[in-house]
Structure 1
C-alpha cells in the first residue's frame, strides 16, 4: 500500500515548535496511532520506522514527533523533564484532535512508554496502548545517571554522555522523577494494553514489565522479546514487534464509518471525567472532546470552557451561514474570520433597556471578510450574519426542561 508522508510542526508544552511526521495509507484510514520515542532518541529510530510502516500498511495512520530539545524540534533538552514529556504528548494529542485525527492507539518505547501510560487519560476514546521495554517507574533513570548524580546534586547539573551523545541533565530533571512513583493510575486505564519487554534488556530490567502488568487491568497481554536489546536495533526484532502490534490492534479497531446525528439519538452527552476537578468529556455527533475550566479558577485547562463553546458555536454558525450565502449569490468571498468575546454588563450600558439593576450578557462579534467585495456585498453579508440559526437561538427566549434520571 502506498504511503503519504506529511512533515508537520506543532506547538509543544513549552511553546516551542515540535517536529513531527504523519504517515498515512493512500486509501481508507481505519484510525490513527501516536508513536512516542525513547529517552534522548528521536522519532526516526529503526523501531519507530518499522512499526509505522507496518501500521500504515494495515490502514492505520501514524503520527510521531520529537520531544522538546530532541531531533528536529526546537527548545533546550536541559529545560525538559518527564513531566514536560507527558505534556508534549498531550499537546500532540490535542493537535491531532484539532485535525480530526484523534489517536485511538498509543505506542511508547522505553521512557516514551512510561509517558504514554500517564498521558492515556487524555484520550477518552483510546482503544489500544502498547509499551516497548518501558520502565514502570521513571525513577529508574537514576541508575542510568548514577555516576553523575553527585555532580548534579552539588552543582545543579552535569554533562552526561548517553548513547554516544552529550546531554546536560539538570537537578530539576532528577527532582521531577520523584513525582511519578505511584502506579495507581494504571487501574484507571480501560484501553487494551500490550506490554513488550526483553529479558535481556540491560537498561530497563524485565521486572518493570511485571510491575506494569500486575498493576494494570484487563484486557492486557505480555510479549517476551527474547534476545532483543533495549532499543530494538536488530531489524528482525523491530519487525517482530511491528507485526504483533498490527495483528493485536486489529482486534480492537473497528471499521471507521461516517457518523450522523441520527446515529446518536441522545444528542449531546456530557460526563464528568473523574480526573481533575472540573474536566468533562463531551460526546457529540460521533466526536469526543474535553471541556474544562482554566487553571486560575481551579480547573486543569484540558479543553475550552462552557462559554468558549457558546462563542465557538456562534462564530462557526456565522461563518458557515456566510459561506452558504456567498456561494448561493456567487459572491467572490475568499475568507472569513469571526472573533468573539463575552462579557456581563449593567443595563445602563445599553440603550432602551427597560429593567434596572440587571446584568446582561453582551457578545461582541467582529467579522473579517477577504475578497474583492463591493460595499453592497459586504452590507448584504453583514445582514445575513444576523440571521444565522445560533444567533437567533441566543437572541430570543429559550425554554430548558430539566429532569432527573437515575442509572
Structure 2
C-alpha cells in the first residue's frame, strides 16, 4: 500500500492566473479579484505593490487572523482590537527562500484569560500554517508551445532589448 493522496478532480482544483503587466509588475486574478506584485526599487522594480514573498507572509498572517476571528465569533467575543503582526527573514544561503516567520497575535483587550490558549491553538492551525507544516506536492512546468502563438523567445527583438 502506498501513501499517496487521492487524485484531484478538476472540480476540486482552485485556479488563479498571473500575467505580466510591465517591468517587474504582475497581475494576479483570483475569482474576479485582482492583486498586483512588484519588486522594491533596489531590486529593479517600481515598488508599486508588495513582493510575492511579502504576499506569502501576508497569507499566513491573514489566515491566522481569520481563524482567530472565527474563534472569537464562535465564543461570542468581540473581534475589535484583534490584530496580527508577521515578521520574516530570508535565508542567507541558497536557494532563495524564507528562512523564518514569526507571527504575533494581539487579541482584543476584552479577551478573558481562560480563552487565550484556545485562541492561540485555533489560530496556529490555520490552513496556511498547516500547509507550511505539511508542504504540498508542488510542480512547475512549461506550457507547451501552441502554433501561431508568439512566445517571448520567438518575439522580434526591440532595440531596447539589446545591450
TM-score by structure 1 length? Answer: 0.30
CA distance in 2, matches of 1:266, 1:379: 33
- 1:393 counterpart residue number: 131
Shift of 1:334: 2.4
- 1:31 counterpart residue number: none
Tell me: CA distance 1:303–1:401, structure 2 relative to 1, closer, same or farther (3 Å): same
The partner residue of 1:326 within 29, 52, 72 is 72
Shift of 1:345: 5.3
Stretches of structure 1 that go unaligned for 5 or more consecutive residues are 1-264, 347-358
- 2:50 counterpart residue number: 304
The yes-or-no answer on 1:382 pairing with 2:128 is: no
8 A Cα contact 2:88 2:98, kept in partner: no
Shift of 1:378: 1.4
Bigger relative contact order (CA 8 A; separation at least 6): 2
Residue 139 of structure 2 aligns to a residue whose secondary structure is: coil
8 A Cα contact 2:82 2:106, kept in partner: yes
Tell me: CA distance 1:378–1:266, structure 2 relative to 1, closer, same or farther (3 Å): closer
TM-score by structure 2 length? Answer: 0.71
CA distance in 1, matches of 2:72, 2:41: 40
8 A Cα contact 1:315 1:338, kept in partner: yes
8 A Cα contact 1:342 1:362, kept in partner: yes
Deviation track 1:237-259 (CA, whole Å, cap 9, x = no partner) reads xxxxxxxxxxxxxxxxxxxxxxx
- 2:15 counterpart residue number: 267
| Larger helix fraction of residues | 1
Stretches of structure 2 that go unaligned for 5 or more consecutive residues are 1-12, 147-163
Shift of 1:316: 1.1
Structure 1 runs of 4+ aligned residues shifted over 4 Å read none
Residue 394 of structure 1 aligns to a residue whose secondary structure is: helix
Deviation track 1:93-147 (CA, whole Å, cap 9, x = no partner) reads xxxxxxxxxxxxxxxxxxxxxxxxxxxxxxxxxxxxxxxxxxxxxxxxxxxxxxx
Higher Rg of the two aligned structures: 1
- 2:25 counterpart residue number: 279
Root-mean-square deviation (Å)? 2.1
8 A Cα contact 1:333 1:373, kept in partner: no
Tell me: CA distance 1:271–1:333, structure 2 relative to 1, closer, same or farther (3 Å): closer
